[in-house]
Structure 1
Amino acid sequence: MKISWKNRKKFVKPTPIQMDSKKMIHVENLFDSGLLPMLITPRIPDVDLTEWISNQRDFIEKKLSQHGGILFRGFNIQTQKQFQELTKEYIKVPMKYKEGATPRSKVTENTYTSTEFPSDQHIALHNELSYVTTWPQKICFCSIAPAKTGGETPIADVRRVYHRIDKDLREKFAAKGWMLVRNYGDGFGLKWQDVFHTENPKKVEQYCKENEIEFEWKDESHLKTKQVRKAVRKHPDTGEWLWFNHIAFWHESSLDPKVRDMLTESLGIENLPYNTYYGDGSPINYDDAEHIRKAYDQETISFEWKKGDVLLLDNMLVAHGRNPFEGERKTVVSMGEPYTPENL
């Protein structure tokens, strides 16, 4: 006896089509000239990037160690909420900003705007929070609204930057480390209350003691801090040597000459908002700082953001910055997987 389809379908359950996760995406280098960043795009419509990532952590970790950065493009990440769900899935231990140096807004619990610096300003390349005692191993960006022009996030592999630094200079920094000096209270840069997230000087002092930071209250509103950190480090997973610091980023020679002259005249060189030295406190000459900047420049690549792009970086392997831009630009960022070295 034949049974009609109308009756049969009551008992027949559709079988979902299974597809190999790796066959759902296409992998290539964004640029022919190098490995950074690796580009991942969907082969089929409506691939859920959050779900895909949850099933491919080992694959992503392997590729991230090799390339340093992965650009996910075409996955229809359109909102801050979607980005938050994505990073919540991948970055299992999120981190908040501490000892911050530039203004940014908190979007959600673990998502922030990228640095809210004036749009005509260039932000030099740096590894996020290289000067703290515990920094994020992963940092992830999403372009919610690309700028009309400019606004790229330039990146550089600091394994390669390390090898571009003159050997003698590199060894000098390896032996001495580097020192960051910050001065708060003169109206330039963030206030100490914003950096340390407290109005209580005693809590600032406790934080400094716990994080190997020297501090000096010049008066009740003016604070000077000094911290010495290693200039070169080995990656905890790959064992590769890295140029991992903010030495050139905050060196006085990186300031616009007119701004530097104005600040030096009004505050004195010892009271600049930021400055860097060798770890023993001796000055870094301008030629050496320029040599370091050129090493970054030689390894810097950038690409035009597209709406919904997600850029995942190993924060120890890859430095990032920001180019000037025109028009509205909205880029959000999340970071995590804290790492604390045995020796600072």
Structure 2
Amino acid sequence: MNMRMLTPERLRLEAGFPLRVQPGQAGVSLAAEIDALRSIVNHSLERDGAILFSGFTPEGVEGFQRFAASFGHPLLNYEFGSTPRSQVDGKGVYTSTEYPAHRSIPLHNEQAYTTEWPMRIFFYCAKAAVSGGETPIADSRRVFQRISPALRKRFEEKRLMYVRNYGNGLDLTWQQVFNTDRHSDVEDYCRSRGIQCDWNEDGDLRTRQLVQGVAQHPRTRDWVWFNQAHLFHLSNLDEEMQEILLDTVGEEGLPRNVYYGDGSPLEADALAEIRGVLSECEVVFPWQTGDVLMLDNMLTAHSRKPFSGERKVVVAMAEGVSGNTLHTLS
């Protein structure tokens, strides 16, 4: 279908990654053009992987929540998270990862460390930073293609085992991750998702989960690089922090780590290759206050640059998918 048939003259499309959608005149809100914007998303998101809605009149967090919820899927709760987030005004809207401003967050696909993830993820820039604070993206199809065939094969066949130890002041507590204070709730959640969970005598929790290293998009059928091995692996930390953690809790007690599915260690050169390819595929664009970025989470990875000054970017997620069966969850 010709995009000109879908796009009113009052909207402007700029090809690229991300695809940029802008109003043709000032004072136009996302809500006012929602029908046309849904048509653009339905036609373009799974082709382009990322759409940036820029230049529309900011409508605040509540307006963003309504926009994100208007595409036919209820917004998801942030469950089994790996980073600290706080819910903000508006159901299903959370702060972006609460991480020190001077640190960067590597490229990753949301919740690719487990077997359930959102197919769509939305970011709203409520306030752009004075400097930095961009949300770079990368085409996960391109990343997959650039990873060497031998490494792709290892990740596909061996899969990955993520190991997490909660609390001890080193990472999120299990109460934060599972949104409960009850051991039985945690055990039920883990049992239903094939997560091995063990409590030690101090009441602390360790989980292990065997998950995918690569994945196939259920609709486009594209193969994508889909994991967080480079982020969970101990080598993601600086050398001083690695030494401190190993001396303090040992490898078994690390807050998080990742292995091949058979328990064998990931090779240093494999992790270096992954990080190198991600760096090559990174695309950076500046935020403007009021911008909304919509991603197909399987097709596009995202990250965060360091920043100075106040920055407020919030997130919503929708259309939960199970990697075990790749069916849409109700």
User: Which category describes the TM-score, using the shorter chain as reference length?
Assistant: over 0.9
| Counterpart residue identity of residue 316, structure 2 | S
- Distance in 1 of aligned mates of 2:6 and 2:230: 46
CA contact (8 A) 2:115 2:324 kept: no
In the TM superposition, residue 184 of structure 1 has moved relative to its aligned partner by: 1.3
**TM score, norm. by length of structure 2:** 0.93
Partner of 1:276, secondary structure, is strand
- Distance in 2 of aligned mates of 1:298 and 1:219: 46
CA contact (8 A) 2:123 2:313 kept: yes
Deviations 1:197-245 (A, max 9, x none): 1111111111110111011112242211000111111111110000011
Task: Tell me what 2:120 maps to.
Answer: 138
| Counterpart residue identity of residue 275, structure 1 | N
In the TM superposition, residue 56 of structure 1 has moved relative to its aligned partner by: 4.0
1:26 aligns with 2:12: yes
CA contact (8 A) 2:6 2:39 kept: no
Deviations 1:288-333 (A, max 9, x none): 1111111111100111111111101001100111111111000011
Equivalenced residues, count: 321
Task: Tell me what 2:76 maps to.
Answer: 95
- Distance in 2 of aligned mates of 1:153 and 1:78: 20
Matching residue within 9, 24, 33 for 1:52? 33
CA contact (8 A) 1:78 1:307 kept: no
Partner of 1:61, secondary structure, is helix
In the TM superposition, residue 268 of structure 1 has moved relative to its aligned partner by: 0.3
Higher gyration radius (CA): 1
1:66 aligns with 2:52: no
In the TM superposition, residue 279 of structure 1 has moved relative to its aligned partner by: 0.8
Moved more, 41-50 or 207-216: 41-50
Structure 2 stretches of 5 or more lacking a match?
none
CA contact (8 A) 1:184 1:224 kept: yes
- Distance in 2 of aligned mates of 1:164 and 1:124: 18
- Distance in 2 of aligned mates of 1:200 and 1:298: 44
Matching residue within 64, 82, 86 for 2:67? 86
- Distance in 2 of aligned mates of 1:220 and 1:58: 54
Deviations 1:160-187 (A, max 9, x none): 0001111101101110101100011321
Task: Tell me what 2:273 maps to.
Answer: 291
- Distance in 2 of aligned mates of 1:342 and 1:135: 11
- Provide runs of 4+ in structure 1 moved above 6 Å: none
Note closer, same or farther for the CA distance 1:200–1:20 as it changes in structure 2 (3 Å cut): closer
CA contact (8 A) 1:231 1:244 kept: yes
Note closer, same or farther for the CA distance 1:82–1:163 as it changes in structure 2 (3 Å cut): same
Structure 1 stretches of 5 or more lacking a match?
1-18, 30-34
Partner of 1:82, secondary structure, is helix
- Distance in 2 of aligned mates of 1:279 and 1:99: 20
Partner of 2:9, secondary structure, is helix
Identity of aligned residues (%): 42
Task: Tell me what 1:5 maps to.
Answer: none
CA contact (8 A) 1:137 1:316 kept: yes
**TM score, norm. by length of structure 1:** 0.90
| RMSD (CA atoms) | 1.6
Matching residue within 124, 134, 142 for 1:160? 142
| Counterpart residue identity of residue 41, structure 2 | I
| Counterpart residue identity of residue 197, structure 1 | N
Matching residue within 267, 275, 278 for 2:260? 278
CA contact (8 A) 1:54 1:90 kept: no
Task: Tell me what 2:215 maps to.
Answer: 233
